Amino acid sequence: MKGIGKTLLLIGATSDIGRATALIYAEAGWDVLLAGRNRSAVQREADDISARTGASVLIHELDILATSRFEDFVGVVSPLPDTAVCVVGELGEQSRAERELEHAAMIMRTNFEGPALLLGLLAERFAARGSGTIVGISSVAGDRGRASNYVYGAAKAGLTAFLSGLRNRLSSSGVRVLTVKPGFVRTRMTNAMKLPPLLTAEPREVAKRIFAVAEGGRGGDVVYVRPIWRPLMTVVRSIPEPIFKRLRL
Amino acid sequence: MEGWGRYPRHESQAIDCWLPEALAGTVTSRTGLIGRGNGRSYGDAAIGEYSTLMCRGLSRMRRFDPSSATLTVEAGVMLSDILRSFVPRGYFPPVVPGTKFVTVGGMIASDVHGKNHHRDGGFGDHVIEFKLVVASGEVLTCSRTHNPELFFATVGGMGMTGIVEEATFRLRPIESGWIAQKTIVAENLGEALKALQQTEDATYSVAWIDTLSQGASLGRSLIFVGEHATLDQLAGMPRADRFAAKDAGVVSLPFDLPQWLLNKTSVAAFNELYFRAGARKAAKTSLVHWDKYFFPLDGILEWNRLYGRRGFLQHQCVVPAEDALPVLSGILDRFARSGKGSFLAVLKKLGGGNGLLSFPSPGYTLALDLPVTQEVFGLLDEIDELVVRAGGRLYLAKDARQSRQTFEAGYTRLAAFKELRKVTGADRHFNSRLAKRLGI
Ligand SMILES: Cc1cc2nc3c(=O)[nH]c(=O)nc-3n(C[C@H](O)[C@H](O)[C@H](O)COP(=O)(O)OP(=O)(O)OC[C@H]3O[C@@H](n4cnc5c(N)ncnc54)[C@H](O)[C@@H]3O)c2cc1C
């Protein structure tokens, strides 16, 4: 495979969506830089991608909760990637988060604080260069808080708002900012759950969509992987609060 | 839990496995465990006595060395993934079975044979080494020189020696993704055997038999002979087309078909059309996409549901070349008279296998599908008699019902295999329903 001289930075490389996304980019001839918490696990993904595609894949150890290291990381990352995709996320357990501050904080920091700070820093360097694409993976759960996962949902809502603001600010800087909301995805985490087939995407499908929107320019700035989610969430968002609070969602 | 044939069905606890490092702990803490790849074996080989280790999560490729064309992958990597990554880069797996939806672990455990077995041997013959998690939880590297006893017991050993964690094997360079195919028409079984004998130098060969024709045309067949097409055969085809990926429209069977649909008349009509179409192409060489040549059935996902809820059996035997004509005629005749139609039977020439329990042995192998019915078991027992008397045996990856006697008569190196299981402690940890049924 001949390289095309472009680099993807994938943050959260050991997630199923992250892995599939990095692979799609590598298949298209991109160089790939994988960042993740566990060095040997990230190396396993890097080896996989380079064996499958012949692409050059580098790795970087990075913990999304270690925010004090971000400036160093963003300062040294080289070459500065053309596109950065952050898929980091942690569903956590809602009921535990209601009782344990620490668990709730971990969910908020993993889904909002870490990704927002990191993507914000990268955006600064992209803006200075005058080009680049930032892709944040948010969630339909951030479209409206629900009893079953509002800690996670709130953090994702924060990320959605952050990305929206960032996009607004950088709209004339040559930097694109995308928000991707995958909906249900068939992954390791959801392996045991029964998910509605119509609303459930495969990791590779999510990855293809990310690539198509980020690099092909197809689709808008806020992307629902399966189009059906958009009208569905419009409905969910428009249910008046007095009614919504009595629904068990 | 069930195999591809959906018969038999057993309770077994599924254990997921996502990381190679987790294997040792799972293995040592269990008994009655067996590894499972993509569940494409037909019967009870991939159903653990108590629990079943789902190896699909071990799906990472480790490294590829272009200078020697060797690939190292985790055992749960699918053949379809290898094809997708490597055909466009000019490499083909050394051996492929009739479906690409199998894992490397499953291919080693069954020592699968392809249409090139007569020339290139089974998949195990191309494996350089693998890592095996044995009963003690140790990870042993096995090759022809390193732990050779374990190596040859694991190749074809149906998971009964341990869990294959990763494996290294050689790919073959190809000039294109096309197969130059010639079709030979054989009017009966004798001609079919002769044609397979005469095309022994060809890389790929296989015969599709019409199982419903009887008498003088018993065993009438189409023999498909194939070679990887070379550049000059493709005469100026652009590179993109030479390696064209054809994610050919895959359709799924969304429901179980009622069993009456597969009756003698519908099958006979299908076969007639199939053979006329084949005969029209005879003698000419045509270019066929690799996907269609090797995996014609993969175009219909879940075609096993064609046989309805009760499932189906595949009967695959191999018999030595000397007596192949009378024995296989006897078998085909018995099937034809029973009226238990299979769409088609597959006939192929095999060379020897090297694993202690490898299925292939020099001779001819015949495989047929049969829907599960009350009477079919008696019929198959009778046919097994013919196989055993001829010194043949049945393929464990397809088996769901053979008797212990049939099995023991066919697998002459069984004692050595059992001994190795005892010595390594495998007999206490690794047991499938098949192992229990056959007393391995
Ligand atoms: C349509 C079709 C066509 C076929 N054509 C052919 C053919 O032409 N030639 C041929 O030889 N076979 C053929 N087969 C059979 C098939 O190749 C084998 O059954 C193969 O082993 C299935 O692989 P799997 O990954 O699905 O394994 P499974 O069915 O899940 O398991 C098969 C065996 O492998 C063992 N196993 C799986 N993974 C591991 C592991 N990691 N470590 C140790 N043991 C493991 C299991 O314990 C079991 O004994 C065909 C099957 C189908 C459905």
pLDDT tens profile A130-171 = 999 999 999 999 999 999 999 999 999 999 999 999 999 999
Confirm or reject: Cβ of B4 under 6 Å from ligand 1: yes
Three-state secondary structure readout of chain B: CECCCCCCECCCEEEECCCHHHHHHHHHCCCCEEEECCCCCCCCCCCECCEEEEHHHCCCEEEEECCCCEEEEECCCEHHHHHHHHCCCCEECCCCCCCCCCEHHHHHHCCCCCCCHHHHCCHHHHEEEEEEECCCCCEEEEECCCCHHHHHHHCCCCCCCCEEEEEEEECEECCCCEEEEEEEEECCHHHHHHHHHHCCCCCEEEEEECCCCCHHHCCCEEEEEEEECCHHHHCCCCHHHHCCCCCCCCEECCCCCCHHHCCHHHHHHHHHHHHHHHHHHCCCEEEEEHHHHHCHHHHEECHHHHHCCCCEEEEEEEECCCCHHHHHHHHHHHHHHHCCCCCCEEEEEECCCCCCCCCCCCEEEEEEEEECCCCHHHHHHHHHHHHHHCCCEECCCCCCCCCHHHHHHHCCCHHHHHHHHHHHCHHHHECEHHHHHHCC
Max Cα distance, chain A (Å): 58
d(CA A61, CA A45): 13
**H helix or E strand, kind and range, residue A61:** strand A57-61
Res B391: pLDDT: 97
**Structure-token match 């001994």, residue found:** B419
- Residue A48, chain B, CB below 8 Å: the answer is yes
Looking at residue B349, its amino acid is K
Question: Crossing angle, helix A39-53 and helix B79-86, to 10 degrees?
Answer: 60
**Structure-token match 């708002």, residue found:** A161
Q: Is the Cα torsion angle B225, B231, B236, B238 positive or negative in sign? A: positive
A80-136 pLDDT, tens digit each: 999 999 999 999 999 999 999 999 999 999 999 999 999 999 999 999 999 999 999
Residue A162: strand, helix, or coil: helix
Mean of the per-residue pLDDT values of chain A: 94
The answer to whether B62 and A43 have CB atoms below 8 angstroms apart is: no
- What are the residues whose beta carbons fall under 8 Å from the beta carbon of A40, sequence distance 6 or more? none
The answer to whether B371 and B361 have CB atoms below 8 angstroms apart is: no
Residues on chain B touching A51 (C-beta within 8 angstroms)? 61-64, 71-73, 85
Token representation of residue A99: 């009782």
Distance in Å, alpha carbon of B183 to nearest chain A alpha carbon:
34
Looking at residue B384, its amino acid is D
Res A77: pLDDT: 92
Rounded distance from Cα B157 to ligand 1 centre (Å): 11
The answer to whether A138 and A156 have CB atoms below 8 angstroms apart is: yes
The answer to whether B426 and B132 have CB atoms below 8 angstroms apart is: no
Distance in Å, alpha carbon of B208 to nearest chain A alpha carbon:
34
d(CA A134, CA A11): 11
Token representation of residue B139: 């990870």
Rounded distance from Cα A146 to ligand 1 centre (Å): 45
Closest residue in chain A to residue B18, using alpha carbons only: A188
Residues on chain B touching A188 (C-beta within 8 angstroms)? 18, 57
- Number of Cβ pairs < 8 A linking chain A and chain B: 29
d(CA A20, CA A3): 19
Confirm or reject: Cβ of B56 under 6 Å from ligand 1: no
Confirm or reject: Cβ of B318 under 6 Å from ligand 1: no
Confirm or reject: Cβ of B225 under 6 Å from ligand 1: no
ipTM of the complex: 0.90
State whether B60 and A188 contact (CB < 8 Å): no
State whether B63 and A51 contact (CB < 8 Å): yes
Rounded distance from Cα B39 to ligand 1 centre (Å): 7
Given pLDDT bands bounded at 50, 70 and 90, which one contains residue A22?
very high
CA angle B303/A185/A144 to nearest 5° reads 140
Closest among B96, B105, B121 to B157, alpha carbons compared: B105
Confirm or reject: Cβ of B209 under 6 Å from ligand 1: no
d(CA A189, CA B234): 47
d(CA B374, CA A89): 53
State whether A54 and B64 contact (CB < 8 Å): yes
Residue of A38, A52, A186 for testing the chain B interface, max B β-carbons within 10 Å: A52
Residue of B19, B21, B64 for testing the chain A interface, max A β-carbons within 10 Å: B64
Res B239: pLDDT: 81
d(CA A149, CA A142): 10
Rounded distance from Cα B242 to ligand 1 centre (Å): 30
Q: What is the DSSP letter of A228?
A: T
Rounded distance from Cα A54 to ligand 1 centre (Å): 28
Distance in Å, alpha carbon of B59 to nearest chain A alpha carbon:
9
Confirm or reject: Cβ of B73 under 6 Å from ligand 1: no
- Residue A145, chain B, CB below 8 Å: the answer is no
Q: Characterize B117-131 residue by residue with b for buried, 16 or more Cβ atoms within 10 angstroms of its Cβ, and e for exposed.
A: bbebbbbbbbbebbb
Confirm or reject: Cβ of B316 under 6 Å from ligand 1: no
Pocket mutation for ligand 1, best pick of B2, B102, B431 (most atoms within 8 Å of C-beta)? B102
- Residue A63, chain B, CB below 8 Å: the answer is no
State whether A47 and B61 contact (CB < 8 Å): yes
- Residue A45, chain B, CB below 8 Å: the answer is yes
Given pLDDT bands bounded at 50, 70 and 90, which one contains residue A2?
low
d(CA A181, CA A229): 9
Res B412: pLDDT: 96
State whether B81 and A191 contact (CB < 8 Å): no
- Residue A15, chain B, CB below 8 Å: the answer is no
Distance in Å, alpha carbon of A192 to nearest chain B alpha carbon:
10
Q: Are strands B139-143 and B127-133 parallel, antiparallel or unpaired?
A: antiparallel
Length of chain A: 249
- What are the residues whose beta carbons fall under 8 Å from the beta carbon of B9, sequence distance 6 or more? B1, B2
**Structure-token match 């023999």, residue found:** B223
Res B284: pLDDT: 78
Res B252: pLDDT: 61
Distance in Å, alpha carbon of A26 to nearest chain B alpha carbon:
11
Q: Is the Cα torsion angle B339, B345, B347, B352 positive or negative in sign? A: negative
Q: What is the DSSP letter of A92?
A: -
Closest residue in chain A to residue B66, using alpha carbons only: A54
**H helix or E strand, kind and range, residue A161:** helix A150-169
Q: Are strands B312-319 and B363-371 parallel, antiparallel or unpaired?
A: antiparallel
- Give me the sheet containing B345-350, strands edge to edge: B285-289, B178-186, B221-228, B204-209, B345-350, B363-371, B312-319, B393-394
Instruction: List, for chain B, all residue ranges whose pLDDT scores fall below the cut of 50.
Output: 248-249
Res A106: pLDDT: 98
Q: Which atom of ligand 1 is nearest to the CA of B109?
A: 34
State whether A48 and B61 contact (CB < 8 Å): yes
d(CA B408, CA B410): 5
Confirm or reject: Cβ of B185 under 6 Å from ligand 1: no
Length of chain B: 440
Confirm or reject: Cβ of B46 under 6 Å from ligand 1: yes
Catalytic residue positions of A?
Answer: 152
Q: What is the pTM of this model?
A: 0.94
Q: Per DSSP, which regions of A130-216 are E strands?
A: 132-137, 175-181, 184-185, 200-201
Which of A44, A48, A54 shows the shortest C-beta gap to B89? A54
Whether the upstream peptide bond of residue B371 has omega within 30° of 0, thus cis, is no
Residue A73: strand, helix, or coil: helix
CB-based burial of residue B69 (10 Å sphere; 0-12 exposed, 13-18 middle, 19+ buried)? middle
